[in-house]
Structure 1
Amino acid sequence: MKFLSSKNRNTGIILSYTNTFLNLVCGLFLSSFLLKQLGDTNYGVYQTMASFANYLVLLEFGTGTVMTRNLLACRNKNEDKSVIDKNVSTIWSIATFLSIVIGIVSIGFYFSIETIYQNSLTPEQILDGKNIFIFITIFLLSSFLSQTLNGIPLAHENYTYTSLISIFKILLRTSLLVVLLFNFKYVIIIAIVDASINAGIAVFGYIYCKLKYKVSINFRNFDKLILKASLPMCIALFLQTIVNQANNTVGKFVLGVMTSPEDVTLYSVGLYIFSIFSSLTTIPVSMYMPQISKDVLEGKEGKELTNTLIQPCRLIVLVGGSVLFGFIAAGKPFIKLIYGEEYLLAWLIAIILMAPMFINMSNAVIINVLDIKNKRLTRSLIMMVSTIFNIVLTIFLIKNFGLIGASIATGLSTILQIILLNIYYYKRMNIKVLYLFCKTYKGILLYQIIGAIIGCFVCTVIKNSILAFLTSGIIYVIIAFSGFLILGKNQQEKATLSNLLNKLFKKNNDSRGED
């Protein structure tokens, strides 16, 4: 199999970040728009039902990732079409079976809503919540099937399909919600729009994969041996899904049961900022998978393998650090401008969630090494330990500290996860984690911290929110990026920047010559 060239990988990264940026802009606009159109209470009911329904995602078993992994293995071994069709059909059969299970479990969830939320929601809110839950379930089922199908183009290293579909979805969703909610101020419209769009995307994805990649999706091609070989990866991803969903929703879920819809809404704002950070730091992980796979297959290990991980880790720190420390510098006026001063606590909630995750994501490309060496299950078990700790601590801290307690619990569980994972990476995977952290942060982190401190100080001095946001943001950018560009670049980054500038100057000179 031919591995992705650096140029194709960079194109994939750029397109993914374009999609993420669009999602950020539309998401920030929509979150503010929905709050103003629907109010704290109604939007809080929607968020409460969404966090409750999201536990159904635990049953997905990572079929999209398994699909990609299996098809990549087939392509690498030059297997014939019949073997590929068996793999596709087997994974699709698993996804279909799990969809039926999710549908059955959702019925039980539906009838338990009144019992679970009787102390925090009014009878009218519970009725609305049940109707919302139905459409959220349809949304989750169609998303699950779409993600399974997305594994097919990804296995063929087509990084444009999922990004383009996502861009289309963002634009269509934003347009429909704005038009409909201006005329009909019903919170259920959000769930109906999401369910309709995702169902359409699932149907399109099925047709696209059959026509584009000529795959046969047929239950008769189900293969027990493929199922058996896929189970370890499925179990590992199932455990990881439990971890991710629990960490992302336990705060909202427990707050919804123990407090009020208004508290859930406020916490959701901080959680949304965190989700943006998480999305931006995750992109390079999958994009570098082919290159890391090649390095591992060539027999690199220890410090030699660790050196190959430095550049993608530095990219994650550049991106993730810019979001975290930029938000520390200019986040307060940003929250005031977008959501209002009453949501200012979301600034602190987001920082408590992002700071430990920044450290965790700094070496997240090691996940690719685990996948190649079939060690993902161990990581998932370690993450499970930290998640159980998070759930117990969340319940305790919310009783004593409310909203802040929920974010502190998640932050502390992430720190526990960081410690356990890096001990495993060092002891069992022979990855020089301390060396990797030092090389990753060198020339980047110091200037980001300085920029955040100065920007935050300036932000407290200036009272006008717009002026404070612009001034503190500009100060952060100048300090963090000038420090990196002038003093922090390593040799590879200097060469990359030099080549980029040479190409730009050459293109500029060529266009002048044509004139």
Structure 2
Amino acid sequence: MINTIKELNSSKQVKYGVIMSYFTVAFNILAGLIYTPWMVRQIGQADYGLYTLAISFISLFALDFGLGSAVSRFMSMYKAKDDIDGAKRFLGITCKLFLLITFIFFLVLIVIYLQIENVFLGLTLLEISKLKVIFCIAGLYSIIAFSFNPLNGILISNERFLFLKSIDLFHKILIVLLMVIALLNGFGLYALVIVNAFVGLLTIAIKLGYIMKFTDTEVDFSCRDKILLKEIFGFSAWTTVISISQRLILNITPTILGAFAGSVQIAIFSIGMTIEGYTWTIAQALNGLFLPKVTRMTISNKDMIEIENLMIKVGRIQLFVIGLIIVGFASMGKEFMVLWMGNNFSDTYYVALLLIVPCIISLTQEIAYTTLVALNEIKYRAMASLTVAVISIILSVILSKNYGAIGSAIAIFIGNVVGVIVIMNFVYYRVLKINIFRFFRECHIKMLIPLLLTYVLGLLMQSQFPVETLWLFMGKAGLLAVIYFLLMWFISFNLYERDLFLGLFKGASNKILNRR
């Protein structure tokens, strides 16, 4: 009975968390369409490139050595077992480890600051001077924020998805609001960094206060459990490899471009990363919410077929959302980039397309990756991520010299196909014993016809009805989205998916009518 109540509460939190996530994504996209190009024009393309360079370079060294993921995984495990003492001991150890890593991170940033002129040889003296100021502000914020890294893991393990996603939305809205005020009053590049730091610290304080007041989370700082420490390191070591690899894939690319291609190519690549980030964020609206549930399923020794069914169910919904983004951008994205960011960013279309195309496979399979985390088998993902990083960095150094941002995007595309798609699907099939052929048959093949038809229609609309303003383009894109939904509804959706959308529509309608 208690487990049934937990599952119902979990389902409600997932449902509301997903809805709030999509509100956040919608705001991000709207802000990106309106605010980002305006902000870039206010501070300049080169300054925006410097900001991206500083943030990505600092992030490259802000490694938590897998402890952030360990908090989510172990706390979910302790919650599933109702082991309160184990949770307290675990948090005591991880909090002390985070403080130690924060001190090391601080020392590393000091050394890097002293070597900035020798690292970024492609920048001018003025750009170096600006970069140093940005680096100091963003670095100080990163050091403070790093210490509170476990907060998200605690909220996830307690399944407080609604609050977590709500605070994410608050974070985005406040940054845009304060940045608009700052830029309208004549502040420029430095205001961008200061506002981001201030809002970030504010959200950390809110999360900390919520956890202290509304959860039963306790920390045993006196804990010195060597067995638990060994278990944590056994998990976090492989997660560290993943973290390093992911940073080497995207965060080091602006550094490579800064060394070989200049700040303009960094800006072009960064906008492409923004499009990829939107795609990833939309996927995470579902993917980040299932670790507690999958952990309970693995602990109760449920058959892998149930996880496979969940993977298909979630994967189809993910493909419906992500598929629209990818086929829509592939068919109409070039016109969009010119209208959105201007002719100087036309190459960003190719950068973004190369970054997001592999997502149509990888981001629909996050339930399988979550299962690897729950079973403590993430070494396979670590090996795959390392493969992606090695391929991407080597090819990026070679290709960026002559092809700039597009060359780096090609390098990352090849790395993702080999590592995240080929290698990981082999792992899911052989290690987890998931019938990956059934997954592709039920998910991608059964939804292929609407995807292809939408792509063809998008190309026709692009060639036959070109537009000159972003608002007209949004109308055209909206029409394509409606056609896509209808194609999916009549060709690919199953009964569960139709009931899901009808239920959301009826729920929204009832709330509106009740308010009246």
Please name the residue that 2:167 is paired with. Answer: 165
Farther-moved stretch of structure 1 (383-392 vs 327-336): 327-336
Q: Which amino acid aligns with 2:46?
A: T
Deviation at residue 114 of structure 1 after TM alignment: 0.7
Please name the residue that 2:264 is paired with. Answer: 262
Q: Distance in 2 between matches of 1:160 and 1:315?
A: 20
Q: Which amino acid aligns with 1:7?
A: K
Q: Which amino acid aligns with 1:68?
A: S
Deviation at residue 475 of structure 1 after TM alignment: 4.3
Q: Distance in 1 between matches of 2:362 and 2:330?
A: 18
Task: Give the gaps of 5 or more residues in structure 2.
Answer: none
Deviation at residue 296 of structure 1 after TM alignment: 3.4
Deviation at residue 11 of structure 1 after TM alignment: 1.3
Q: Distance in 1 between matches of 2:363 and 2:498?
A: 24
Q: Distance in 2 between matches of 1:284 and 1:215?
A: 25
Q: Secondary structure at the match of 1:368?
A: helix
Q: Is 1:32 aligned with 2:37?
A: yes
Q: Which amino acid aligns with 2:189?
A: V
Q: Secondary structure at the match of 1:287?
A: coil
Q: Is 1:375 aligned with 2:380?
A: no
Deviation at residue 25 of structure 1 after TM alignment: 2.2
Please name the residue that 2:16 is paired with. Answer: 11
Q: Which amino acid aligns with 2:436?
A: V
Deviation at residue 282 of structure 1 after TM alignment: 2.3
Q: Which amino acid aligns with 2:409?
A: S
Contact 2:25 2:282 in 1 (8 A): yes
Specify whether residues 491 and 200 from structure 1 end up closer, same or farther in structure 2 by C-alpha distance, changes over 3 A only: closer
Listed one character per residue, the Cα deviations across residues 38-63 of structure 1 (whole Å, up to 9, x for unaligned) are: 11122222222222212112x21233
Please name the residue that 1:429 is paired with. Answer: 432
Matching of residues 285-364 of structure 1 within 5 Å: 285-301=287-303, 303=305, 305-364=307-366
Q: Which amino acid aligns with 1:103?
A: F
Contact 1:136 1:195 in 2 (8 A): yes
Listed one character per residue, the Cα deviations across residues 205-237 of structure 1 (whole Å, up to 9, x for unaligned) are: 334323333544463345433322211221122
Q: Is 1:202 aligned with 2:207?
A: no
Q: Secondary structure at the match of 2:177?
A: helix
Q: Secondary structure at the match of 1:365?
A: helix
Listed one character per residue, the Cα deviations across residues 238-263 of structure 1 (whole Å, up to 9, x for unaligned) are: 11111222222232221111111111
Match 1:401 to one of 403, 415, 440: 403
Q: Which amino acid aligns with 2:59?
A: N
Q: Which amino acid aligns with 2:172?
A: I
Matching of residues 453-464 of structure 1 within 5 Å: 453-464=456-467
Q: Which amino acid aligns with 1:165?
A: I
Q: Distance in 1 between matches of 2:72 and 2:477?
A: 40
Contact 1:146 1:205 in 2 (8 A): no
Listed one character per residue, the Cα deviations across residues 297-352 of structure 1 (whole Å, up to 9, x for unaligned) are: 45444555423321001111011111111222332332223211221211121111
Please name the residue that 2:89 is paired with. Answer: 86
Please name the residue that 1:55 is paired with. Answer: 60
Listed one character per residue, the Cα deviations across residues 155-187 of structure 1 (whole Å, up to 9, x for unaligned) are: 211112222222222122112211112223431
Match 2:232 to one of 230, 233, 236: 230
Q: Distance in 1 between matches of 2:154 and 2:168?
A: 16
Contact 2:73 2:291 in 1 (8 A): no
Q: Secondary structure at the match of 2:160?
A: coil
Contact 1:243 1:387 in 2 (8 A): yes
Percent identity, please. Answer: 21
Q: Distance in 1 between matches of 2:216 and 2:12?
A: 27
Specify whether residues 51 and 286 from structure 1 end up closer, same or farther in structure 2 by C-alpha distance, changes over 3 A only: closer
Q: Is 1:482 aligned with 2:486?
A: yes
Contact 1:89 1:219 in 2 (8 A): yes
Deviation at residue 32 of structure 1 after TM alignment: 1.0
Contact 1:38 1:186 in 2 (8 A): yes
Specify whether residues 231 and 497 from structure 1 end up closer, same or farther in structure 2 by C-alpha distance, changes over 3 A only: same
Farther-moved stretch of structure 1 (4-13 vs 35-44): 4-13
Please name the residue that 1:273 is paired with. Answer: 275
Q: Distance in 2 between matches of 1:468 and 1:485?
A: 26
Farther-moved stretch of structure 1 (83-92 vs 167-176): 83-92
Q: Is 1:412 aligned with 2:417?
A: no
Listed one character per residue, the Cα deviations across residues 333-380 of structure 1 (whole Å, up to 9, x for unaligned) are: 322232112212111211111111221222121012112211012211
Listed one character per residue, the Cα deviations across residues 252-298 of structure 1 (whole Å, up to 9, x for unaligned) are: 22111111111111111111111101111122122233443344345
Deviation at residue 470 of structure 1 after TM alignment: 4.0
Q: Distance in 2 between matches of 1:316 and 1:465?
A: 32
Q: Secondary structure at the match of 1:120?
A: coil
Q: Secondary structure at the match of 2:328?
A: helix
Specify whether residues 470 and 133 from structure 1 end up closer, same or farther in structure 2 by C-alpha distance, changes over 3 A only: closer
Q: Secondary structure at the match of 2:376?
A: coil
Match 1:447 to one of 446, 450, 453: 450
Contact 2:314 2:364 in 1 (8 A): no
Matching of residues 55-204 of structure 1 within 5 Å: 55-57=60-62, 59-80=63-84, 82-117=85-120, 119-204=121-206
Contact 2:48 2:267 in 1 (8 A): yes
Contact 2:77 2:296 in 1 (8 A): no
Specify whether residues 501 and 38 from structure 1 end up closer, same or farther in structure 2 by C-alpha distance, changes over 3 A only: closer
Specify whether residues 394 and 458 from structure 1 end up closer, same or farther in structure 2 by C-alpha distance, changes over 3 A only: same
Q: Distance in 2 between matches of 1:271 and 1:167?
A: 20
Deviation at residue 497 of structure 1 after TM alignment: 4.5
Contact 1:254 1:395 in 2 (8 A): yes
Contact 1:41 1:262 in 2 (8 A): yes
Q: Which amino acid aligns with 1:133?
A: F
Q: Distance in 2 between matches of 1:470 and 1:321?
A: 18
Task: Give the gaps of 5 or more residues in structure 1.
Answer: none
Q: How many residues align?
A: 509
Listed one character per residue, the Cα deviations across residues 107-152 of structure 1 (whole Å, up to 9, x for unaligned) are: 11111111011x3111221111111101111232333334312222
Q: Given the two structures, how large is their TM-score scaled by the length of structure 1?
A: 0.92
Q: Secondary structure at the match of 1:465?
A: coil
Q: Given the two structures, how large is their TM-score scaled by the length of structure 2?
A: 0.91
Q: Distance in 2 between matches of 1:143 and 1:23?
A: 22
- Alignment RMSD (CA, Å): 2.5
Q: Distance in 1 between matches of 2:455 and 2:311?
A: 27
Contact 2:388 2:412 in 1 (8 A): no
Specify whether residues 493 and 43 from structure 1 end up closer, same or farther in structure 2 by C-alpha distance, changes over 3 A only: closer
Q: Secondary structure at the match of 2:115?
A: helix
Q: Distance in 2 between matches of 1:468 and 1:328?
A: 18
Contact 1:209 1:215 in 2 (8 A): yes
